[in-house]
Structure formats: structure tokens, C-alpha cells
Chains A and B, each alone.
Chain A
Amino acid sequence: KAGVTQTPRYLIKTRGQQVTLSCSPISGHRSVSWYQQTPGQGLQFLFEYFSETQRNKGNFPGRFSGRQFSNSRSEMNVSTLELGDSALYLCASSRDPTGQGTKETQYFGPGTRLLVL
């Protein structure tokens, strides 16, 4: 079974631009979460989607948004990029068969490394 895939793997943008990152979860997984990893900050939760609905959101400004499609694929968008948005953006998926967000493992993709100049 294929793992979580993310595209693109690397991206360079300039301040003020916007960017869209894509994530395809493991087949059959319905929950998709996004995390930002920066040096010294660990992984910070951005948001989680289930059945095309945002189920939870972290403490990030409104410039960060996401969506999920009917096939569970997800995209996140960052508008008006700032230098501090340079990070590794990770997507993770979980099966969540009951839709209750029960104790199941999240599996991560390789990430998209974004550099903002």
C-alpha cells in the first residue's frame, strides 16, 4: 500500500506570494492533518480535516488555510508569505474508521520544504 505522498517536495517563493501544497493520504484513510516543522519548534499542528470538514485548528494566523476533497486528498494554502513561513510542512493521515477520532496512529508523508526569500 502506498504511503502518504506530498507535492511538491521543495518550493522557493518570495515574500508576499502565496503557495499551495498538496497531500494524498494512504488509501482508505479519511483523516488528514497538517503540521509545520521549524528548527527548535518541533512539529506544530496546523489543522485536521475529516470528510471534507475542518475538525480542528491550531494557533496559526488566517493566512494558513486548507481543504479536503471527496477523495480525502488535501491541500493547504499560505497567502502573503512571510520569511518566518520557511519550514517543512508535513501531512499525516489516519484511518479513523468510526469518524470519532479514536486512538489510531497518524502516518506522515515526506513533507514539502518551503523556503521564502
Chain B
Amino acid sequence: DQQVKQNSPSLSVQEGRISILNCDYTNSMFDYFLWYKKYPAEGPTFLISISSIKDKNEDGRFTVFLNKSAKHLSLHIVPSQPGDSAVYFCAAQRGSGTYKYIFGTGTRLKVLA
């Protein structure tokens, strides 16, 4: 049972344009969400997070939106740069007491120069 889903395995965007990566979840008990970026042969790198009490969080070129009623979150990258080409994972955490993250299967973003 995939509780966190990233339905687009890949996405191509022109440099300078907006990249939008989507993530859906099924467990309404999730209350903390994160996005990680992963390059080949490296571990995931933390990008941005959002608590369920918020609906938006920004950090530079990265913005995460959370729609709790739709159980959907998205990551916007503006403007997209070639160095953003990587696999992006969304992750969800439920409650406290442990750092068990549930990850999606990832979306491979390719930013075309």
C-alpha cells in the first residue's frame, strides 16, 4: 500500500521556466512533509519542508504548497536551472516519537538548457 505517491516518474522543463512536482498521500495522520533532491551516487539532500498547520512554505527558488483537503502537495521551482536536474522525492511523517519517513517513488526532473 503506497501511502505517498508521485505519479509522474519524469518531467522535462525548459531552463528559466517553472517546474512543478506533485505528490499525493492517503494517510490523513501525516502532519509533516519534506522534499528531497537526489543526484546519482549521492544520498538525498533536504530541500524544503512544511508542517500540516501551514499551506505554503518558501525558500528561495523553492516553494512547497500543501492542500490538506485534497491530500496533495507540490514543489515549485522558479526559475528552473540545469543544476536542478535530479530525482525529487517527497516524504511524509506522522506524529512525533520517531523519524520514520514514508517516501514516494520519486520524479526525475530534467531541466533543458
Contact = CB atoms under 8 A, between A and B. Distances in A.
Contacts of B44: 43, 90, 108
A90 B103 CA distance: 13
Contact of B100 (A40, A58, A96, A103): A58
A94 interface: yes
A53 to B, nearest CB: 11
B43 to A, nearest CB: 4
Contacts of A110: 41-43
A55 B43 contact: no
Contact of B34 (A33, A44, A105): A105
B29 to A, nearest CB: 14
A90 B43 contact: yes
Interface of A: 4, 31, 33, 35, 40-45, 48, 55-56, 58, 90, 92, 94, 96, 100-111
Given A101-B99, A105-B49, 6 more contacts: A42-B89, A43-B91, A48-B99, A103-B49, A106-B46, A111-B43
